[in-house]
Amino acid sequence: MEYVKITENLTMSRIIQGFWRLTDWNWDTETLAEFMRGCIARGVTTFDTAEIYGNTVCETEMGKVFEKYPEIREKIQLVTKTGIKKIAGMP
């Protein structure tokens, strides 16, 4: 895997695994952890999420993995966005 140096102290994998549709995958904590381990094994160590993904469910589920398997969190770069709001009346 190729890595990109963003700053002196931050390097990210060239490929970033997004979790926008994580709630559609219907995975339990163990399945998500295995998927994340597979990404890491392939060199994909940068993960993208946002609080709006699944109305915070995405980050909640990832948090469960990090709590149970802290070694996963230690091996990745987590890119997250905040402050993105739903527009009233929009799904």
d(CA 31, CA 62): 11
Contact between residue 63 and residue 51 where contact means Cβ atoms under 8 Å apart: no
H/E stretch holding 5 reads: strand 3-7
- Burial of 24 by CB count in 10 Å (0-12 exposed, 13-18 middle, 19+ buried)? exposed
Give Cβ neighbours of residue 86 (< 8 Å, ≥ 6 apart): 52
Give the residue numbers annotated as catalytic, written as ranges.
53
